[in-house]
Each structure stands twice: as C-alpha cells, then as structure tokens.
Amino acid sequence: MPVPPGEQNPVAQEPADRDPWGPPQAGPAASHWHPYPAPMPQARNGMGVTALVLGIIGVVLGLAVVLFWVSWLPALLAVVFGFVGLSHARKGLATNRAMALAGVILGGAGLLISAGVGVFAAVVVKKTADDVRAKAVEVKESAAAEDEKKKAEEKARHLSFGQSYTFGNGLKVTVAELQPFTPDDYVFGHAKGNKAVEVTVTVVNTGTERVSVETGLPSVNDAKGASAELVIDGSGRQKVITGYVLPGKEMVGKYAFSLPPDAADKAEVEFSPDAKRWPDAYWSGPTS
C-alpha cells in the first residue's frame, strides 16, 4: 500500500554514478547564528525621585511656620539624594537628571526657607517676650502707682481737728476742735462720770450745683478706739446736717458724744456726706 504523503520521510537520493569510495559531496551552505544582544542595565532613578519628593516636603514644611523646625531635615536629605542622583545621571546609570536637579534646587530652597522662617520666628518670639515683659512692668508700675495713689488718698483723709477735706462731690468738710458739753437734766446716752464733748461739723459747697448730704451724722471713737455714745438731751443744742447745700453756701451741724473717763483724753471723728459714694474722712486730736 502506498504511504500517506504526511507520513513520508524522504531520503536524499544519491546519483547512481557516484563513487561510493570517493569523498562526500558538499552539502548546502550552513546558515550563520546570530547571538541575542546583551540586556541594558536597569536605570537607577530612585535617588532623583526621592530627592524631588523630599525637596517638595521640605519646602511645604518650611512655609508652614509652625513646622519650620522639622523642614530642614527633608530639605537636607533632598540635596544629598539629589547630588547622588546627578552623579548617577553623569555615569549613565540614571535617566532622570532633571528630576534630581529639581530635588537639589527644592532642597536648597527648603533649607533657605527653614532658616529664614526660623530667624523670623525668633524675632517674633523675642518681640512678643519683650512686649509681655514691658506689659508686666507697665502693669506693675500701674499697680504701684495706684497703690501709692490710694495711700496718698488715705493719708489725705486723716486730718487734725480744724483742718478741711474736700470730697469728690465738691463738699468741703471741717471738724472743729472738740469742746466740753454739759447735758441738761434730761439726757440719754450719757452715764454719770463720763466726759461729754461737742462736735461741730461745717460743710461748704464749693461746686456750682446743689449737693445733697445723705449721711449728716458723724461717729466718734475714744482714745481706745471704742465707739462713743451719741448724747441726746432736751436742750435743743444739737443740730443734724440734712438736705441740700446750695453752691457757695454752708451748713453747720452740732453733736454731743459721751466718752468714758479712762479714754476721754483723745477722740477721732469720722464723717462722710454720702457714705455709699465717698469713704469717710477722719479728724483726730485731744478732747481739751
């Protein structure tokens, strides 16, 4: 049976007249083999990319005033990695020279920004500290001045009998030297053996408008600091200051107080035309 064409294995036919003992015939020329080209080394672009990223981070952190103190590190690393990337590019090991150069530039800019912001922050902090110190000194001096003013006002309100003190409402008050007072037979607030004294208070309106006297009754302390009793009798000699004092006019009040024998040599009189608005002034001195 004939062999199918696909399964035929043709055999080279030799010429019938070929000498079997002769040299073999030359066959077809052998084809030449071409080797594959050697693979190119992979580009080392990591340094340039890292330098660019770190440079951007350094600039951004430098512009953020509160983070400038950490921006110098990524900026410095960007410069270092950028120079390494440029070196690789010069040697042909990297293809992103522009990226590495941008990283160096951004890193340098980040360092400059960090230094500039640091100087600016130092100046601002120093100015703020100076302002705070100056404000503290000003407050201290103001408090000291206010304290001195209060002391001066307090001292001005302590007078001797016969001197005058002008209150903020324009009323000028004078307490005269104390005089002996003899109560009549019908008296309240005076014990037998005590010393009764008369207190005379003169109020003059130095302003241009009438002023009301809200508290026209003085208080008296004896030499031991104890409050003396107000003496009330039927003589009608006591007179309480009350009502309005017209501009340029004066009102005179007369009061009697009883002092114990062992503390009757000195007394202090307190008086204010309006105790709710003006603190008391004090007059002191001997009772005779």
166 and 120 in a common domain: no
Q: What is the mean pLDDT of the chain?
A: 85
Do 210 and 276 belong together in one domain?
Answer: yes
Cα–Cα distance for residue pair 132/146, rounded to 1 Å: 20
Over the range 180-203, which residues count as b (16 or more CB within 10 Å of their CB) and which as e?
Answer: ebebeeebebbeeebbbbbbbbeb
Predicted local distance difference test score (pLDDT) of residue 281:
96
In Å, how far from its chain's centre is CA 3?
Answer: 110
> Tokens standing for 68?
């400038």
Q: What's the rounded Cα separation, in Å, for the pair 45 and 53?
A: 13
Closest residue by Cα to residue 72 from 48, 100, 105, 107: 107
pLDDT of residue 185: 85
First to last CA, the chain: 174
- What confidence tens digit (pLDDT) does each residue in 97-116 have? 999 899 899 999 988 988 88
CATH code, domain carrying 176:
2.60.40.1240
Same domain, 207 and 267: yes
pLDDT at 215: 79
For residue 4, pLDDT beyond 60: no
**Mean local confidence (pLDDT), 185-198:** 91
On whether both 210 and 250 belong to a single domain, the answer is: yes
Percent of the chain with pLDDT over 70: 85
Tell whether 7 is covered by a domain. no
Q: In whole angstroms, what is the distance from residue 199 CA to residue 240 CA?
A: 11
How far is Cα 211 from Cα 117, in angstroms, rounded to an integer? 65
Tokens of 117: 């912001």
Residue with tokens 């202090």: 268
Of 197, 188, 190, 205, residue with least CA distance to 249: 205
Structure tokens at 9: 């294995």
Residue 61: pLDDT band with limits 50, 70, 90? confident
- Helices 97-156 and 68-90: crossing angle in degrees, nearest 10, is 170
pLDDT per residue over 152-181, tens digit each? 988 999 999 999 999 999 999 999 999 999
Taking alpha carbons only, the member of 47, 49, 51, 57 closest to residue 113 is 57
pLDDT of 37: 59
Check whether residue 177 and residue 258 sit in a common domain.
yes
Token readout for 239 is 């007179």
Strands annotated E in 3-95: none
DSSP-derived pairing of the beta strands 179-180 and 195-205: antiparallel
How many Å apart are CA 46 and CA 118, to the nearest integer?
31
More confident residue, 25 or 234: 234
pLDDT(288) > 90: no
d(CA 110, CA 131): 31
Residue found under tokens 């002191």: 284
If asked whether residues 167 and 226 sit together in one domain, one would say yes
Given this model, what pLDDT does residue 84 score?
92
pLDDT at residue 194 in the model = 94
Residue 50: partners with Cβ closer than 8 Å, 6 or more residues away = 77, 78, 81, 85, 103
Give the range among 22-31, 92-101, 160-169, 261-270 with minimum mean pLDDT: 22-31
In this predicted structure, the answer to whether residue 12 has a pLDDT above a threshold of 80 is no
Residue 79 pLDDT more than 50? yes
- Encode pLDDT of 27-51 as tens digits: 555 555 555 555 556 777 888 899 8
Paired tokens of 283: 């007059």
What phi and psi values does residue 201 have, to the nearest 5 degrees?
-115, 125
- Give me the mean pLDDT over the 71-90 stretch: 89
- The answer on 225 and 169 residing in a single domain is yes
Q: Is the pLDDT of residue 22 over 80?
A: no
Residue 145 lies in a domain: no
Mean pLDDT of 120-124: 87
Q: What is the pLDDT of residue 131?
A: 92
250 within domain boundaries: yes
Asked whether residue 34 is domain-assigned, the answer is no
pLDDT at 10 over 60: no
- Residue ending a domain, among 112, 129, 146, is 129
| pLDDT band at residue 72 under the 50/70/90 scheme | confident
Is the residue at 196 inside a domain?
Answer: yes
Q: Under 8 Å CB-to-CB from 127, ≥6 apart: which residues?
A: none
Can you say how many angstroms the Cα of residue 163 is from the centroid of all Cα atoms in its chain?
48
Q: Which residues span the domain enclosing 196?
A: 159-286
Residue 1: pLDDT band (50, 70, 90) is very low
Per the structure, the count of domains in the chain is 2
Write the pLDDT tens digit of every residue in 223-246. Answer: 999 999 999 988 888 899 989 999
Together in a domain, 238 and 181: yes
pLDDT band at 275, cuts 50/70/90? confident
